Amino acid sequence: MKIVKFILCLLFALTFINAGLNKFFQYAPMPKMTDEQMKIYAAFTEIGWLMPLVGVVEIVGGILFIFPKTRALGAIVILPVMAGVFLQNVYRDPSQMGIGMAVVLLLINLWAILDNKEKYKSLIS
């Protein structure tokens, strides 16, 4: 079970590291977007610091997510980005592939948070 957990966390982390690096180097082709998605993307790129910030959060969160000692922090760092990815896929791009991938990634992130709930108790109390 420990190996499966590590592999899931590694794949999750590499997905976000890849997405973060792509925001800086644009090496992956962008999928065809609808007019509404183009408007949203244009608004995000007009705010010059937003996409680099999301890229840095994805890279740092992904790196933290790989290691068991820092996985709890990485899961919390990636959670807002993951929520955005999930909501984007549900409301703006309701394709079966996008929603399926977003749900799987969200479940892995929530599982990591629940798996490390003891580490968060000092923050709550």
pLDDT band of residue 122 (cuts 50, 70, 90) is confident
Band (1; pLDDT cuts 50, 70, 90): confident
C-alpha distances out from residue 24 to 28, 53, 99, Å: 11, 10, 25
- The pLDDT, as a whole number, for residue 5 is 93
Q: In 3D, which of 108, 13, 119 has the Cα closest to residue 67?
A: 13
Residues of the chain with pLDDT > 90, as a percent, come to: 67
* CA proximity to 66, closest of 19, 118, 120, 112: 112
Task: Give the chain's mean pLDDT.
Answer: 91
Residues in the chain: 125
Give me the amino acid identity at 79: L
Q: Tens digits of per-residue pLDDT, 16-56?
A: 999 999 999 999 888 788 888 889 889 988 998 999 999 99
User: How many angstroms separate the CA atoms of 8 and 28, rounded?
Assistant: 23
Q: What is the pTM of this model?
A: 0.89
